[in-house]
Structure 1
Amino acid sequence: MKQLNDNNSMSGEREQLLDWNKTALVVIDLQKWIGNQYAPYSAEMVIANSAKLANLFRNKGAFVTLVHVSSKDFKDMPSPKLDTTPPKLNLVEGWDEFVPELGVTDTDHIVAKKQWGAFHGTDLDLQLRRRNINTIVLCGIPSGIGVDTTAREAFQHGYHIIFAIDAMTGFTKSEHEHVRDVIFPRIGRIRTTEEIVNGN
């Protein structure tokens, strides 16, 4: 997934992908309401890759932000008029808790959001800027809603974005492929989990 312009054209040396002091991991909506109908990657694969990235960032002393949707009565969430009925939410007991595979730690920053994007109405931008972070690695579910909206917000706030493309998935394959092929290349860089782990 690497782009040709990642090499330093002046010296011929490979550009370092991440500066751990200036990079944060932002994990979108890996919570207990996750269902099973995703493509092209399964929820299990996305969770496993996201957990791998979270542990890597923690071990490096880098900033990890876990984002989830949470509400007591849903009156604080958008309720637009639509032409189609939105899908029912999988509100199992503890639906807004993070999946256990993420292994939430005391050092993780938790963001509770009320809409698709993780920036609007939250302290995410404030916390990133106070830590002099200019780059975010994004992962989570689904690619074309929570991840895409957060990515567009991050782009508009001036952050560099790295998409952990196999640590996210869509409700459909076409949804994931659209943002992967059309949107993400215009606002950030696309990498696999292994490329991020290996610093490529």
Structure 2
Amino acid sequence: MLELKAKTTALILIDLQKGILARPLSPYSADQVVSTAARLGRAVVDAGGLVVLVNVEFGADLSAAPRGLTDQPLAVPPGGLPPDWSEIVGEVAHLSHLPITKRTWSAFHGTELDLQLRRRGIDTIIVGGVATNFGGEQTARDGWHLNYNVVVAEDASTSMGDGLHAFAIEKVLPRVSRVRKSDEIIAALKGS
């Protein structure tokens, strides 16, 4: 059974923003993930924990995006990214105690997230959002590298395909975290 101390726990929600949620997502839809993340966020707040909303911002022309050569580079749509591409959406938008803007997959790399979590005495992070196998996985890995206890909220996460989500959840994330459904996480928060 999962045990959590709410006062030393932070929920980190990755990229629940207009431009990313507009894409086809699975196994959970954008609406499902936002709803589950909001329910989880309210439980964290009610228990006295911290909610961190993370968005990614590259600039309309992707000038702030990583520049390394890849086989599948980020494509700039004609006219660039819309001005509201990075805007956090839905029921989660008002839950944040700590907003973080990142420029890469990880919420830790190049941001003040680690500093702010440590100043608040956080030792456990719950990770959810989009995409399970990109921003979620990289943030979970980096959190584990930084010696946080990591919990991944499986049903508050989704990706661009069932196989991508499943591979991360079943093969990678159990090596750096505890993967749980939101109901179990909420029950653990209520018991703390």
Task: Please indicate, yes or no, whether the TM-score normalized by the shorter chain is above 0.5.
Answer: yes
Residue of structure 2 equivalent to 1:195: 184
Quote the sequence identity (%): 34
Q: Say whether residues 1:80 and 2:76 are aligned partners.
A: no
Q: Summarize deviations over 1:28-82 as a string: whole Å, max 9, x none.
A: 0001112241111111111100011111111222111000012445322202222
1:56-75 mapped onto 2 (5 Å cutoff): 56-72=43-59, 74-75=62-63
Please give the alpha-carbon distance, in whole angstroms, between the structure 2 residues aligned to 1:147 and 1:32.
17
Give RMSD over aligned pairs.
1.9
The runs of 5 or more residues in structure 2 that have no matched partner are none
Aligned length: 185
Tell me the residue number matched to 1:47: 34
Structure-2-length-normalised TM-score: 0.89
Cα distance, 1:195 vs structure 2 = 1.0
In the TM superposition, structure 1's runs of 4+ consecutive aligned residues that sit over 4 Å from their partners are 87-90
* C-alpha distance in structure 1 between counterparts of 2:109 and 2:45, whole Å: 25
Post-superposition offset of 1:88: 5.4
Aligned to 1:161: 150
Q: 1:48 to 1:95 in 2, by over 3 A?
A: same
Asked if 1:102 corresponds to 2:88, the answer is no
The structure that has the greater radius of gyration is 1
- In 1, the alpha carbon distance for the partners of 2:17 and 2:9 equals 23
**Residue deviations 1:116-160 (CA, integer Å, cap 9, x gap):** 000011000001111111100010000000000111100100010
CA distance in 2, matches of 1:49, 1:88: 30
C-alpha contact (below 8 Å) 2:57/2:64 kept by paired residues:
no
**Could you say what secondary structure the match of 1:104 adopts?**
coil
For the structure 1 residues 158 and 93, does the alpha-carbon distance in structure 2 shift closer, same or farther, using more than 3 Å as the test? same
Gaps of 5+ in 1: 1-5, 7-15
Once residues 121 and 92 of structure 1 are traced to their aligned partners in structure 2, the CA distance between those partners, rounded to angstroms, is 24
Per the alignment, residue 112 of structure 2 pairs with 123
In 2, Cα distance between the equivalents of 1:87 and 1:81? Answer: 13
Structure-1 separation of matches of 2:179 and 2:185: 10
**1:175 alignment partner AA:** L
Alpha-carbon contact 1:32-1:92 (below 8 Å) kept: no
